[in-house]
Structure 1
Amino acid sequence: MSLDDVLQAKKATPTLPDAQVVTSVTHYTDRLFAFRCSRPQSLRFRSGEFVMIGLMGDNGKPLLRAYSIASPSWDEELEFYSIKVPDGPLTSRLQHIQPGDPIILRPKPVGTLVLDALLPGKRLWMLATGTGIAPFASLLRDPETWEKYQQVIVMHTCREAAELTYGRNLIEALPEDPLIGELVEGKLLYYPATTREPSANMGRVTDNLLSEKVFADLGIPPLDPETDRAMVCGSLDFNKDIKAILEEAGLREGANSAPAEYVVEKAFVD
């Protein structure tokens, strides 16, 4: 949709609290899709944060869930990456949105997957499963990420290769990005893996870290709290398992109020 189309759609949108307009929708698999929407002029956020978004419920009340903003802080629109849950209160309906539809967005960004919550380091690990790649999609397109770190390693694991498409497309486009392309050169290592469908890299993030396979495959040394920083985003079990691995390696969990060596996102959608 063009800017004029968005403005016209906003005028035609029923009065809703914090309503924005969907500008594009892309379906990747029968379980995954992404969409973009207009951005409130007053919204300011740090790459990696999340907001509450949703639709009006049948009872006339907003049905909202926490979603990481997948677009970088400088983008004029907002991007979100979502699963489709057939019986999910929100995603069962959200997956059917079309350009021009209204969507509710509460412009109060929060979250721990921000650069400010990490102490200075040399290597940044982004560890994700499924739609956990969303906050990293924001951070990977932020110049500050590449200015702060000498190397950025993205480990993303899904069940099947098709589920890696969103992240793979984003990663492959980074070197040609007019804003950060030159900053990315020589700094990015990408390690996509699958757990069910055969692929070049098999296994869970946890398994590939514990076996040290990822270090051997990428030709890099193991985790070191002096140089390595990490961000984690996945299921509750995934986050718990990764935390144990990072802490065994000597990394400590950080927060906005007390930066340290790694951070974990704790917000989820249905």
Structure 2
Amino acid sequence: MSDRLATVASLEPSAALTVEHVRSVRHWNEHLFSFTITRPPSFRFRSGEFVMLGLPGDGRPLLRAYSIASPSYAEELEFLSIKVQDGPLTSRLQKIVPGDQLFLGRKPTGTLVADALRPGARLFLLSTGTGLAPFLSIIRDPDIYERFSAIVLVHSVRRVSDLAFRTTLETQLAGDPLVEEQALQQFAYLPTVTREDFHTTGRIDALIDDGRLFLEKIGGSARFDPETDRVMMCGSMAMCKDLAARFDALGFTEGSNAAPGDYVIERAFVG
């Protein structure tokens, strides 16, 4: 069976998986795409969690963990993915079209959730590449604006075209039915590009070192303070590990669902 036929073939649910239909697909560039699928009525998740997603494989489903990009109240589930031409799953997943079927895990989980953080004033969401996905869910959660007075989303990519959802983020979620007013006052978006000209360039660590990450809008000092600041990180393994070491040195503690702390990383992706 060809990859295309395997994608559209009728799938069978199991105890661990439901079968959902693709609703829409958007190709941002040759390396990046996003898509929405139907949401089972019983499917519940916390903003920032991930779930297993996949297609039929050799004798068993081929599954990978994907952060949920849609808000927890949305009728559809949205995901953001890279395109890997020889990847076992993404080489096929990038070819999906509306109407195709996918496997969806029944049990979302993860540590990139507000419950894994202690109370604070400023929340920094630091992402590279498709690590943006869980934060797209978090910033549209009304509860996050009750927990923190300022939310800063930093997205570092190589090229300008990699800035998925840029227009939505630059308008501070204008038109969002639940958080539009809060986001206008409390949310800030800082995209940065490392390999092309852009108004902000450089990696996240460079933005921290020279103070550009601490936007005037959010107030507070131009440095991280474990007494008031909380951090979530998702993206490249190198970024997460380097910044975690930096936060450890500043006196921050890593949090979890069982023991909330000052910063969190999704360990399922970092290893």
The normalised TM-score by structure 1 is 0.90
Give the aligned residue type for 1:65. Answer: R
| Alpha-carbon offset, residue 16 of structure 1 | 4.0
Give the aligned residue type for 2:72. Answer: S
2:143 is matched with 144
Unaligned 5+ residue runs, structure 2? 1-8
Which piece of structure 1 moves more, 203-212 or 67-76? 203-212
| Alpha-carbon offset, residue 170 of structure 1 | 4.0
| Alpha-carbon offset, residue 214 of structure 1 | 2.2
Distance 2:130 2:64 in 1: 14
Name which of 4, 9, 12 aligns with 1:15.
Answer: 12
| Secondary structure at the counterpart of residue 29 of structure 2 | coil
| Alpha-carbon offset, residue 171 of structure 1 | 4.7
Cα pair 1:153 1:191 within 8 Å, conserved = yes
2:168 is matched with 169
Which piece of structure 1 moves more, 214-223 or 185-194? 214-223
| Alpha-carbon offset, residue 168 of structure 1 | 4.3
Deviation string, structure 1 residues 173-209 (Cα, Å, up to 9, x no partner)? 5132121111212211211100000111010011211
Deviation string, structure 1 residues 136-170 (Cα, Å, up to 9, x no partner)? 00001111111111000111100011101324434
1:178 is matched with 177
Cα pair 1:231 1:262 within 8 Å, conserved = yes
Q: 1:203 to 1:148 in 2, by over 3 A?
A: same
Q: 1:172 to 1:117 in 2, by over 3 A?
A: same
Deviation string, structure 1 residues 27-83 (Cα, Å, up to 9, x no partner)? 0010000000001111111010000000012x2320000000001111111000000
Unaligned 5+ residue runs, structure 1? 1-11
Which piece of structure 1 moves more, 117-126 or 170-179? 170-179
1:264 is matched with 265
1:75 is matched with 74
Q: 1:87 to 1:217 in 2, by over 3 A?
A: farther
| Alpha-carbon offset, residue 211 of structure 1 | 2.9
Aligned pairs for 1:27-176 (under 5 A) are 27-57=27-57, 59-172=58-171, 174-176=173-175
Aligned pairs for 1:214-225 (under 5 A) are 214-215=213-214, 220-221=220-221, 222-225=223-226
Q: 1:220 to 1:162 in 2, by over 3 A?
A: farther
Give the aligned residue type for 2:234. Answer: C
Distance 2:171 2:268 in 1: 27
Distance 1:171 1:20 in 2: 31
Give the aligned residue type for 1:51. Answer: V
Distance 1:107 1:97 in 2: 21
Distance 2:73 2:164 in 1: 24
CA-atom RMSD in angstroms: 1.8
The normalised TM-score by structure 2 is 0.90
Cα pair 1:123 1:229 within 8 Å, conserved = yes
| Alpha-carbon offset, residue 216 of structure 1 | 6.5
Deviation string, structure 1 residues 71-110 (Cα, Å, up to 9, x no partner)? 1111111000000011111101100000000000111111
Q: 1:56 to 1:171 in 2, by over 3 A?
A: farther
| Secondary structure at the counterpart of residue 43 of structure 1 | coil
Cα pair 1:133 1:167 within 8 Å, conserved = no
Q: 1:142 to 1:99 in 2, by over 3 A?
A: same
Distance 1:216 1:71 in 2: 26
Distance 1:110 1:259 in 2: 16
Give the aligned residue type for 2:224. Answer: L
| Secondary structure at the counterpart of residue 106 of structure 2 | strand
Give the aligned residue type for 2:116. Answer: A
1:235 aligns with 2:236: yes
Aligned length: 257
